[in-house]
């Protein structure tokens, strides 16, 4: 149809002002390539690589065009024609196939980071501005990371945590790779909250990375292999639900059924897995919410929606229901609340300048709410919003927290 309903909701179109950087423009380019009217695929590279993949256009589309499928097919085609130097290819393969899927590798990195903090080396590097010399603005992002947790805290839970009081559900908790490596405290608080509201919580030992990063970079075969490993791992736990606490991971788990729909041996298993996959906010609400929440006076909060949680999982109301149950808290929605913050996996690293333009728009809307707390439900959003707070020099008056951190703090759970 090319009606243009997608244009007002597309962050890259709004900041870059180009038709080629809109969903309509990208689809038209891909269509012309498919029809043979464009034979040089390089014309696709910038439009496709600069797409956030937020999928807001799918929600806005009156004819329900499956833009996400079109986008990822284009990424696969572009990835196949790329040629990497030997060092870059080795680094890429190591990161995607050896580090992210490996719990032992991620634990080693996390424990090393904790030691880096504990010995004071981190403070020294910050004082000497060594962090600012890191490539891809990694020094800026590092400054937004939460304090590392000790190896003891990392091993706080085994494979099972019993429900407190009457059991309502049996759930299997998806730890994720980045969440478990860098946001272990949020994972631990998630398990405690699930137990608190009446869930027996299993942590499937053979689970691995969800595969979202692989899919978003065009490595679809690797994404499928990771999906199969997770399906097999969680089948060993006879759980009512598979619970995650990261919008991006949750969207990928939700779409395993689509990812494996053409594989007869996996189609049905993937569909069962996806049907059980839920965001933690959904389960907390289903259990009746969190009891013994303490009032939090003088707090004005705004909620930064995760794109993949909103547009793919279609989870929109549950986080707000949980926040509204906290006494004396004022919740103020920001303008264009559904607009992406510019994080989008590693988009803010590989497309830093474009990402910061989108973040600046988000922070302008955030400041209008006069909120002193920003709530998020995704690690990428959390890092991005913390960076936004720093860029706006608001660190003395505004803090960004994951929903689970905020709820646990209100309930006195540490």
Return the pLDDT at 156: 87
Confirm whether 33 is domain-assigned.
yes
Confirm whether 180 is domain-assigned.
yes
Beta-carbon contacts of 255 under 8 Å, excluding residues fewer than 6 positions away, are 274, 312
The helix/strand/coil state of 208 is coil
Return the pLDDT at 136: 85
Confirm whether 240 is domain-assigned.
yes
269 with 295, same domain: the answer is: no
167 with 250, same domain: the answer is: yes
Burial 216-248 (b: 16+ CB within 10 A, else e): bbbbbebbbbbbbbbbebbeebebbbbbbbbbb
Q: Are 334 and 365 in contact (CB under 8 A)?
A: yes
Q: Are 29 and 45 in contact (CB under 8 A)?
A: no
Residue at which a domain ends, from 248, 267, 285: 285
281 with 156, same domain: the answer is: yes
268 with 158, same domain: the answer is: yes
39 with 159, same domain: the answer is: no
> Locate tokens 């289903």: which residue?
286
390 with 310, same domain: the answer is: yes
Q: Which two tokens stand for residue 187?
A: 């994972």
The helix/strand/coil state of 178 is helix
Confirm whether 108 is domain-assigned.
yes
Confirm whether 381 is domain-assigned.
yes
175 with 278, same domain: the answer is: yes
Return the pLDDT at 126: 84
Q: Are 362 and 341 in contact (CB under 8 A)?
A: yes
The helix/strand/coil state of 199 is strand
DSSP one-letter string for 231-285 = HHHHHTS--SEEEES-HHHHHHHHTHHHHTTT-HHHHHHHHHHHHHEEEHHHHHH
Paired with 169 in beta bridges are: 199
Q: Are 333 and 324 in contact (CB under 8 A)?
A: no
Confirm whether 377 is domain-assigned.
yes
13 with 135, same domain: the answer is: no
The helix/strand/coil state of 400 is strand
Return the pLDDT at 127: 86
Q: Which two tokens stand for residue 389?
A: 């707070």
Count of the separate structural domains present in the chain: 4
Tell me 207's DSSP state.
Answer: -
Cα 250 to Cα 172, 213, 244, 348, 392, distances in angstroms:
13, 13, 6, 20, 30
Paired with 244 in beta bridges are: 279
Tell me 172's DSSP state.
Answer: E
Question: Cα separation of 195 and 184, whole Å?
Answer: 17
24 with 92, same domain: the answer is: no
Question: Cα separation of 201 and 190, whole Å?
Answer: 10
Residue at which a domain ends, from 123, 142, 161: 142
Tell me 19's DSSP state.
Answer: G
Domain coverage including residue 402: 290-410
> Locate tokens 């806005």: which residue?
60
| 71: number of Cβ within 10 Å | 21
Q: Is 272 exposed, middle or buried (0-12, 13-18, 19+ CB in 10 A)?
A: middle
Confirm whether 1 is domain-assigned.
no
Q: Which two tokens stand for residue 267?
A: 């189609």
Q: What is the pLDDT of residues 321-372, one digit of tens each?
A: 999 999 999 999 999 999 999 999 889 999 999 999 999 999 999 999 999 9
CATH number for the domain that contains residue 326: 3.40.50
Confirm whether 338 is domain-assigned.
yes
Question: Cα separation of 246 and 242, whole Å?
Answer: 12
400 with 319, same domain: the answer is: yes
Q: Which two tokens stand for residue 238?
A: 């006879």
Residue 169 φ/ψ, nearest 5 degrees: -145, 155
Q: How many residues does the chain have?
A: 414
Q: Tell me, yes or no, if the pTM score tops 0.75.
A: yes
| Segments of the chain scoring below 50 in pLDDT | none
166 with 276, same domain: the answer is: yes
186 with 255, same domain: the answer is: yes
The helix/strand/coil state of 376 is strand
Return the pLDDT at 349: 93
Distance from first CA to last CA of the chain, Å, rounded? 52
> Locate tokens 């910050």: which residue?
126
Residue at which a domain ends, from 223, 258, 285: 285
Q: Give the H/E segment covering residue 99.
A: none
């Amino acid at each position: 149809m090319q009606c243009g309903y997608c244009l007002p909701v597309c962050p890259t179109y709004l900041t870059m002002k180009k038709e080629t950087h809109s969903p309509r423009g990208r689809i038209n380019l891909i269509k012309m390539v498919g029809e043979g009217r464009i034979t040089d695929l390089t014309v696709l590279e910038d439009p496709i690589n600069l797409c956030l993949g937020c999928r807001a256009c799918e929600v806005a589309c009156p004819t329900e065009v499956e833009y996400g499928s079109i986008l990822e097919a284009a990424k696969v085609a572009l990835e196949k024609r790329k040629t990497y130097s030997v060092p870059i290819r080795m680094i890429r393969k190591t990161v995607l196939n050896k580090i992210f899927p490996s719990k032992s590798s991620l634990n080693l990195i996390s424990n090393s980071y904790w030691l880096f903090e504990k010995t004071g080396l981190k403070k020294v590097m910050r004082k000497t501005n060594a962090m600012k010399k890191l490539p891809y603005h990694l020094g800026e992002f590092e400054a937004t990371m939460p304090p590392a947790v000790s190896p003891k805290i990392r091993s706080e839970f085994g494979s099972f945590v019993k429900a407190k009081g009457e059991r309502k559900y049996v759930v299997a908790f998806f730890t994720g790779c980045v969440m478990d490596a860098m946001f272990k405290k949020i994972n631990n608080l998630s398990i405690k909250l699930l137990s608190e509201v009446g869930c027996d919580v299993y942590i499937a030992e053979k689970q691995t990375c969800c595969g979202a990063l692989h899919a978003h970079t065009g490595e679809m075969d690797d994404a499928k292999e990771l999906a199969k490993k997770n399906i097999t791992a969680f089948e060993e736990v006879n759980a009512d639900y598979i619970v995650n606490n990261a919008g991006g991971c949750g969207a990928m788990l939700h779409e395993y059924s689509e990812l494996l729909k053409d594989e007869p041996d996996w189609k049905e298993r993937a569909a069962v897995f996806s049907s059980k996959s839920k965001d933690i906010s959904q389960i907390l609400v289903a259990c009746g919410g969190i009891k013994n929440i303490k009032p939090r006076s003088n707090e004005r909060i705004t909620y930064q929606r995760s794109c993949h949680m909103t547009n793919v999982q279609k989870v929109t109301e549950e986080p707000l229901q949980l926040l509204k149950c906290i006494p004396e808290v004022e919740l103020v929605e920001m303008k264009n609340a559904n607009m992406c913050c510019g994080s989008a996996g590693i988009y803010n690293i590989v497309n830093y300048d474009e990402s910061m333009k989108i973040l600046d728009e988000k922070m302008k809307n955030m400041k209008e709410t006069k909120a002193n707390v920003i709530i998020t439900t995704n690690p990428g959003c959390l890092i991005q919003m913390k960076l936004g707070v720093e860029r706006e020099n608001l660190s003395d008056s505004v803090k960004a927290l994951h929903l689970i951190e905020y709820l646990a703090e209100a309930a006195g759970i540490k």
